[in-house]
């Protein structure tokens, strides 16, 4: 099975949808509760229960807790993988003993 790799594939397959959803949540909350409070809810400074429209703020808070670390982790993993794969002399399968010696 061919490996779909790289940052370009991830951005085109998942990244744009996640960014669009996050932007939509942020814009709706910004218009309803104010831009400063929307920012504070997104990064966890303010509890979503403490704002006027808390039913809108909870999804934004959840997205802030999930999307931020997930994107940072994905980018860090991609960087580490590219760094390691450029120095590999043997396949990971062979190192783990799953591939027979040629």
pLDDT of residue 99: 63
Residue 24 pLDDT more than 90?
yes
3-state SS record for the chain: CCCCCHHHHHHHHHHHHHHHHHHHHHHHHHHHHCHHHHHHHHHCCCCHHHCCCHHHHHHHHHHHHHHHHHHHHHHHHHHHHHHHHCCCCCCHHHHCCCCCCC
Statement: the pTM of the whole predicted model exceeds 0.85: no
C-alpha dihedral (72, 75, 78, 84), degrees to nearest 10: -70
Q: Among 19-28, 56-65, 72-81, where is mean pLDDT lowest? A: 72-81
- The answer, yes or no, to whether residue 7 has pLDDT greater than 70, is no
Q: Is the confidence at residue 1, as pLDDT, over 50?
A: no
């Amino acid at each position: 099975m061919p490996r779909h790799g790289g940052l370009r594939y991830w951005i085109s397959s998942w990244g744009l949808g996640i960014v669009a959803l996050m932007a939509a949540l942020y814009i709706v909350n910004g218009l309803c509760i104010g831009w400063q409070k929307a920012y504070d809810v997104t990064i966890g400074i303010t509890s979503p229960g403490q704002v006027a429209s808390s039913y809108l703020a909870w999804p934004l808070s959840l997205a802030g807790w999930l999307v931020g670390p997930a994107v940072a982790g994905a980018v860090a993993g991609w960087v580490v993988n590219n760094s390691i794969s450029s120095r590999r002399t043997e396949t990971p399968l062979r190192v783990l003993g799953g591939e027979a010696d040629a």
